[in-house]
Amino acid sequence: MDILITGLLLGATYSLIAMGLNLQYGVARIMNLANGEMLVAGAFAAFWVYTAQSANPFAAALFVVPGAFVLNWLIYRYLLRPLVRRAKNRGMLEVDTILATFGMSFAFVGIMLLAFGGGYFTYSYLAEPFPIFGSPFGLNRVVASLIAAVICGLLYVWIHGTRTGMAIRAVAVDPAAAGLVAIDVPRMSALSFALGGAVTAAGGIVLSTFLTMDASVGVVFTMKALIIVIMGGVGDVRGTIIASLILGLAETAVATLVDPGMTLAAAYLLFVLVLLFRPQGLFGRRAS
Amino acid sequence: MTRREAGYFVLVAAAFAVLACLPFAGQSYLLTLGVGIAMYTVLATSWALFSGPTHYISLATAAFYGIGAYVVAGGIGTLPYPALLALAGVAGAVAAALVGLATLRLSGVYFVIFTLGLAELIRQIVTWVQNNFTGSRGMYVLTDITEQGIYWQLLALAAAVYLIGWQVARSRLGFALRIIGNDEVVAAHVGIHSAAAKLALFVVCGVFAAMVGAIMAPRFTYIEPSIVFTPELSFQVVIMALLGGAHRLWGPLVGVIPFTILWELIAARFPGQTILLLGIAFLLIVYLIPNGVVGRIESALRATGRKTSHA
């Protein structure tokens, strides 16, 4: 029971990160390996707000989310757009963007090492017990997962209920066809890339309230987000949420029953199972 | 073997013979640099054997390298060193085959993602095993192998990589890989078993990386998961191969030599900023010279060749 609830709480926060990556990969077609670094940057901002300004860490969202949005917009516009133009087909674009974002991820890690040093960062916020079904859980985890759930809900409604959201879904299905019905594909791609970055940075703030971070931990989160996106099906919001919950449960189970240092092994196990049995994802349609 | 090929063969063999005399120059700095260059040459060239023609980017070098180093560290007390070297190769082959079987049947993205976290995954598992079953985190590798010995072993391995790369390029397998790289659907339609071809080359790549790790293990003396499973290694190998040009057998070498020398300087001058500078170097290569230095030279040669033929 403890595993179940802790896992679901963790999974809810993961869904935020995976949602960010899904917007970037599913819509903008950018396999962003620097996604985890955006998350760590958000977490560091929250850490700074809490320790140096002694304010509520969630206040960091006020400047982190718009900041990440603008930064990711600029990255897409000036670094990735040339690659999209240069690529002759989707395969080439994938190779180029993987290499470019891999380089960016190292550059970001380097910048954060310069700015914050190589130590571990953690702070204690809302670290008090909160009873669910009689067992105590960290209030920070509960608050974090609630915030994540609200943001995911808003995103879902926005994507499925507005004109812009529909345009984004159209680009996710087929960029060429979306262009034919007068959707500004480059603009929508830039928008979803920027939005994805902002959502991921928000996920970083949320995660920082209960996880310990260091400058080079980003790649682990990139990995987890990628596994979730593939498990849930690329470009599928519903699948992403369910896959996040599954990963959260699996990780918590492994951490409690085997060893807390083996969480990545749990993620890989799920990844291998998905690759072997449902490579198109839980809800994905088989590619023709 | 044509006459031209025989000429190249003699030339390369002579170059290796000259390089093998490096330890007798008596300068230890030169020898250290030589070890670095030889090591990255093997790693980058074997990386390019697989990733060059197929365009599948492998980020798993550090994982295989660490496996090789750990095989030596774990068995040095019980088995003779040459047997451990062979064992490391086998371990690398098995690991590469497992990864390949799980991912290479599918599109390239899955493969990249899988290899991205592989070094971290194996590091976690090794740490867990050591914490729970052996008691201590690190291991000592104490041998009487000298720096010269390591250099010669790496040189021999480099010769093996070039020999295999050359044989693969002229075989049916190499031809099949080039077709897969150009268009995987076409490859499947002309009857190429593309998963098997990719798997074969990836295993070669894994064997070499593991053997390099095994050869380098005595140099570390003390081995710990965070030392040998460093993701920076995979990254450096990819950079060097791309800088030189991954589509030619000798391309990576063109990248390895300047980069290793430059890196020695940078690591000495700015020890805190290496990761940032690595990232920037990588971005510059991807944006400015996507086909590597060799690609640049070739297109320049083609351009001048066209001009002279017109005149």
| pLDDT tens, residue by residue, B174-186 | 888 888 888 888 8
Q: Is A107 on the interface with B (CB under 8 A)?
A: yes
Question: What is A2-277's CATH topology?
Answer: ABC transporter involved in vitamin B12 uptake, BtuC (1.10.3470)
Residue A136's pLDDT band (boundaries 50, 70, 90)? confident
Alpha carbon separation from A133 to A2, A4, A137, A146, B12 (Å, rounded): 10, 12, 10, 17, 73
Structure tokens at A239: 């699948």
CB–CB contact B131 A261 (8 Å): yes
Out of A31, A94, A220, closest to residue B120 by CB: A220
DSSP assignment, residue A213? B
**Would B126 be classed as within a structural domain?**
yes
CB–CB contact A264 B121 (8 Å): yes
Boundaries of every domain in chain A: 2-277
DSSP assignment, residue A121? B
Structure tokens at B34: 């030589």
Residue A191's pLDDT band (boundaries 50, 70, 90)? very high
Farthest CA pair distance, chain B: 75
Q: Which residue of B has its CA nearest to A274?
A: B102
pLDDT digits (tens, 9 = 90+) for A216-264: 788 888 888 988 988 888 777 788 888 999 999 998 888 888 877 777 8
- pLDDT score recorded for residue A197: 92
Parallel, antiparallel or unpaired: strands A129-132 and A135-138: antiparallel
**Would B47 be classed as within a structural domain?**
yes
Average pLDDT, rounded, for chain A: 84
Q: What are phi and psi of A187, to 5 degrees?
A: -70, -45
Per CB-CB distance under 8 Å, the chain A contacts of B128 are: 258-259, 261-262
A192-231 burial: b if 16+ Cβ within 10 Å, else e: bbbbbbbbbbbbbbbbbbbbebbbbbbbbbbbbbbbbbbb
- pLDDT score recorded for residue B206: 93
Residue A269's pLDDT band (boundaries 50, 70, 90)? confident
Q: Is B9 on the interface with A (CB under 8 A)?
A: no
Element (H, E) at A136: strand A135-138
Q: What's at B184, amino acid-wise?
A: E
The three-state secondary structure class of A129 is: strand
Q: Is B12 on the interface with A (CB under 8 A)?
A: no
Nearest to A29 by CA among A168, A169, A155, A172: A172
Q: Which residue of B has its CA nearest to A267?
A: B121
Q: What's at A169, amino acid-wise?
A: R
pLDDT above 80 for B108: no
Residue B309's pLDDT band (boundaries 50, 70, 90)? low
Neighbours of B111 (CB within 10 A): 25
Q: Is B238 on the interface with A (CB under 8 A)?
A: yes
**Would B237 be classed as within a structural domain?**
no
Residue entry with tokens 């351009």: B303
Q: Residues B180, B184, B189, B194: is their CA dihedral positive or negative? A: positive
Q: What's at A273, amino acid-wise?
A: L
Q: Work out how many domains chain B is built from and give that number.
A: 1
Residue B5's pLDDT band (boundaries 50, 70, 90)? confident
pLDDT digits (tens, 9 = 90+) for B67-89: 999 888 888 778 888 888 899 99
- pLDDT score recorded for residue B1: 63
Min Cα separation B272/chain A (Å) = 8
Q: Which domain holds residue B186?
A: 3-230
Per CB-CB distance under 8 Å, the chain A contacts of B116 are: 33, 219, 222-223, 226
The three-state secondary structure class of B230 is: coil
Contact yes or no for A247/A255 (Cβ under 8 A) = no
Is the ipTM beyond the 0.85 threshold? no
Q: What are phi and psi of B76, to 5 degrees?
A: -65, -25
pLDDT digits (tens, 9 = 90+) for B253-288: 888 888 888 888 887 887 777 788 888 888 888 888
Q: What are phi and psi of B38, to 5 degrees?
A: -65, -40
CB–CB contact A106 B131 (8 Å): no
Find the distance separating the first CA and the last CA of chain A, reported in whole Å: 41
Farthest CA pair distance, chain A: 59
Nearest to B49 by CA among B227, B193, B253, B262: B253
Q: What's at A247, amino acid-wise?
A: L
Contact yes or no for B154/B212 (Cβ under 8 A) = yes
pLDDT digits (tens, 9 = 90+) for B126-147: 888 888 777 666 777 777 778 8
CB–CB contact A264 B117 (8 Å): yes
Contact yes or no for B213/B110 (Cβ under 8 A) = no
Q: Which residue of B has its CA nearest to A277?
A: B102
Average pLDDT, rounded, for chain B: 85
Contact yes or no for A105/A33 (Cβ under 8 A) = yes
Cα B277 from Cα B283, distance rounded (Å)? 10
**Would B250 be classed as within a structural domain?**
no
Cα B168 from Cα B193, distance rounded (Å)? 16
Cα B87 from Cα B62, distance rounded (Å)? 18
**Would B29 be classed as within a structural domain?**
yes
Min Cα separation B163/chain A (Å) = 28
- pLDDT score recorded for residue B272: 73
CB–CB contact B113 A226 (8 Å): yes
CB–CB contact B279 A103 (8 Å): yes
Min Cα separation A132/chain B (Å) = 32
Cα B65 from Cα B195, distance rounded (Å)? 24
Q: Is B117 on the interface with A (CB under 8 A)?
A: yes
Chain A, window 170-199: residues with a beta carbon less than 8 angstroms from a chain B beta carbon: none
**Would B40 be classed as within a structural domain?**
yes
Mean pLDDT of A95-118: 85
Residue A288's pLDDT band (boundaries 50, 70, 90)? very low
- pLDDT score recorded for residue B113: 84
pTM of the model: 0.85
Per CB-CB distance under 8 Å, the chain A contacts of B274 are: 110
CB–CB contact B117 A268 (8 Å): yes
Work out the percent of chain B whose per-residue pLDDT is above 90.
16
Cα B88 from Cα B213, distance rounded (Å)? 8
Cα B82 from Cα A277, distance rounded (Å)? 40
Nearest to B212 by CA among B256, B169, B273, B177: B256
Q: Which residue of B has its CA nearest to A271?
A: B114
Mean pLDDT of B19-39: 83
CB–CB contact A230 B59 (8 Å): no
Element (H, E) at A271: helix A263-277
Residue entry with tokens 């962003």: A32
